[in-house]
Chains A and B, each alone.
Chain A
Amino acid sequence: MNGRSWRVVVAAGILVVALCLPLGLDPQGYAIRIFTLIFLFAAMAQSWNIVGGLANQMSLGHAAFFGIGAYTSTLLLIRMGISPWLGMAAGALLGGMVAALLSLPTMRLSGHYFALATLAFGEVMRVLANTWASVTGGPGGISVPFGQDSWWMLSFKSTRPHYYLTLGALISVTAVFVAIQRSAFGYRLRAVRENIAAAEVVGVDSARTKILAATISGALIAALGTLYAQLTFFFDPDTVFGIAPISIRVALIAILGGVGVAIGPIIGALVIIPLEEAANFAFSAQAAGLSALVYGLLLVTIIFVEPRGLVALAGLRKRWRSS
């Protein structure tokens, strides 16, 4: 078996395990919730990876699109009783459009400037959601109503359906990522990332390439916002538009795992989410701040040991990067 088919076998094996795992877990329990969050944040980081990894535009404002998705579907649900599936589509559309719009003024920005501009934009959305109380419910937040279990209304009492939904979402977003990576579009992105001047010379429309990448990324993470809302039942502007809980966390997961590779965000989420929980579990009952400190120290240690992310550490980077 050559390297390629070996990888496929491993991936298939992991998938089978993932599909069967919930059958042995309490459907309303803690473990299944952790896995669901891992899949969700991995998917979010993967959508970020499209601009952060493939286009090399480090965005620190992805919460803007995530929040748009969460609010759009939930408001449509509460105000007009529309199914969250349709709401998700609407949210993705809106999120993609806003992402495209944002890429226009930030087109010529790179690196740190781009990061800070996106950070500011995320904050703009948060302040808007907070002040526009008549529409969004303001700082009090909004709740997804209690309802009967229903796939059409994406409403479940137990966490198990959410587990499969987020797993499916992760697989879908990763598929999109890999598809882009291997396509002509992916080549253009790489060209723009490596040397924008040379790319333009050979006829790559760098503006269009960047906007397209941003749109796809924004649309995907907005759709995930809907899944989040249906899972957690309650959120407010600080939760879904927040810099720390969403924007930075998503970037951190992708960076920790390894940007630009499909498996990076997955590894990142598999490490960061349980790490946070473990630190909370072990230390939070003791001195205030201890669990968060331990978590921070572990993060520092990881990036100190391998600044290029865990993927590089495991030597997987080369094998997963190309093709």
Chain B
Amino acid sequence: MLAFLQAALDGLMIGGVYAVISIGLTLVFGVMGIINFAQAEFLMLGMFVAYFAWAWLGLDPLIAAPAAFVIVGALGLAVQTLLLRRVMRAPPVAQVFLTVSLLIVLQNAALLAFGSSFRSVITPYQSSALRLGPLYLSLPYLAAFAASVASGLALWLFLQRSWFGRAMRATAQDPFAAQLVGINTQAMHRLAFAIGVGLTAFGGAVILPYLTVYPTVGEQFVVLMFTVVVLGGLGSVLGAIAGGFSVGLIQSISGLFLPVQLQNLVLFVVFIAVLSLRPEGLLGARR
């Protein structure tokens, strides 16, 4: 029972992290209809931004996270304007091709620019945990979870309350109708992409304290991110959050009675099952 509670707690914490790094992916898909295979590379870039903020300025990655959001978001804006717009009307296969090529470019540009070393930050809390009775609550996980919740909330407020947010949702729902009421859908696409990759970068920054950054770190998260968003429902921000928690819990609890090596196997089987029974995911709208 205790082991179960601990696993549930860990799963929830890591689930929050998975959620924040995946929200960006679902936002991009919802508004632009593009599956961005290079999304995890923006995670890597966010981690690098946070790393250098720590190495050069002594900033804790959690404090540098908003900077990662802004800097990588700006890069995302450039990428969207220069590259992605071109394939918006192209068949989905072309979009896949472009984002996969972008993945290769970003990864190797990072390798060239930053070198192949594995870089790690040292923060005062990264090797500590809180005790809640017999349970352990890892501090870096807690910090990442808190940051994720905060950013998720901020995004939700943005989408619900601000004009831009509502315009983006309108574009996602029905681009033609949105244009009719005067929304510049092109600008909305740009904004969605920038915010999307920015959020993923933010997520990267908050997980840096307990991970290492190197040019190919994104690869560890690609399939995970996609599982999260599809499970939750492509295009639904709340879905990404629900998906994130689900994935975290499934991974953690399956580790109790299965070899750790198979934690992703369970995840994928659940994933395929959900897709076959409810293709739009847990919270996605039936199209």
Contact = CB atoms under 8 A, between A and B. Distances in A.
Interface of A: 52, 58, 60, 104-109, 111-113, 115-117, 119-121, 123-124, 127-128, 130-131, 243, 248, 251-252, 255-256, 259, 287-290, 292-293, 295-297, 299-300, 303-304, 307-309
Contacts of B272: 105-106, 117, 120-121, 124
A113 B29 CA distance: 12
A123 B100 CA distance: 17
Give the size range of B's interface with the partner.
35 or more
B92 interface: yes
B105 A296 contact: yes
23 contacts: A58-B93, A60-B96, A105-B276, A108-B276, A113-B275, A116-B275, A117-B272, A120-B271, A127-B262, A127-B264, A127-B268, A256-B97, A289-B112, A292-B104, A292-B108, A293-B105, A293-B111, A296-B101, A296-B103, A296-B108, A299-B100, A303-B101, A304-B98
A295 B226 CA distance: 25
Contacts of A109: 275-276, 279
A313 B91 CA distance: 15
A61 to B, nearest CB: 10
A247 to B, nearest CB: 11
B87 interface: yes
A124 B96 contact: no
Interface string B224-239: 0011001000100000
B53 to A, nearest CB: 23
Which of A119, A256, A290 has the most CB atoms of chain B within a 10 A radius of its CB? A119
B171 to A, nearest CB: 18
A321 to B, nearest CB: 14
Contact of A124 (B268, B276, B279): B268
Interface string B257-287: 0010110110011011101100100000000
Contact of A307 (B86, B226, B227, B276): B86
A112 B94 contact: no
B264 A248 contact: no
A131 B105 contact: no
List the 7 closest A-B pairs by CB distance, nearest first: A105-B276, A289-B111, A296-B104, A307-B90, A293-B108, A307-B94, A299-B101
B213 interface: no
B85 to A, nearest CB: 10
Contacts of A113: 230, 234, 275, 279
Given A287-B112, A289-B111, A304-B98, A120 B279 contact: no
Contacts of B87: 303, 307
Contacts of B268: 120-121, 123-124, 127
B112 A248 contact: no
Interface string B61-87: 000000000000000000000010011
Interface string B212-229: 000100000001001100
Given A123-B223, A304-B86, A307-B86, A299 B111 contact: no
A266 B232 CA distance: 38
Given A113-B230, A252-B100, A296-B104, A308 B90 contact: yes
A299 B112 contact: no
B109 interface: yes
A128 B276 contact: no
A115 B223 contact: no
Contacts of B115: 288
A299 B97 contact: yes
A108 B280 CA distance: 11
A23 to B, nearest CB: 36
Contacts of A124: 265, 268-269, 272
Contacts of A248: 100
B146 interface: no
B184 interface: no
A128 B269 CA distance: 12
A299 B105 CA distance: 9
Contact of A128 (B98, B102, B116, B265): B265
A119 B272 CA distance: 10
Nearest to B112: A289
A256 B273 CA distance: 32
B35 interface: yes
A297 B108 CA distance: 10
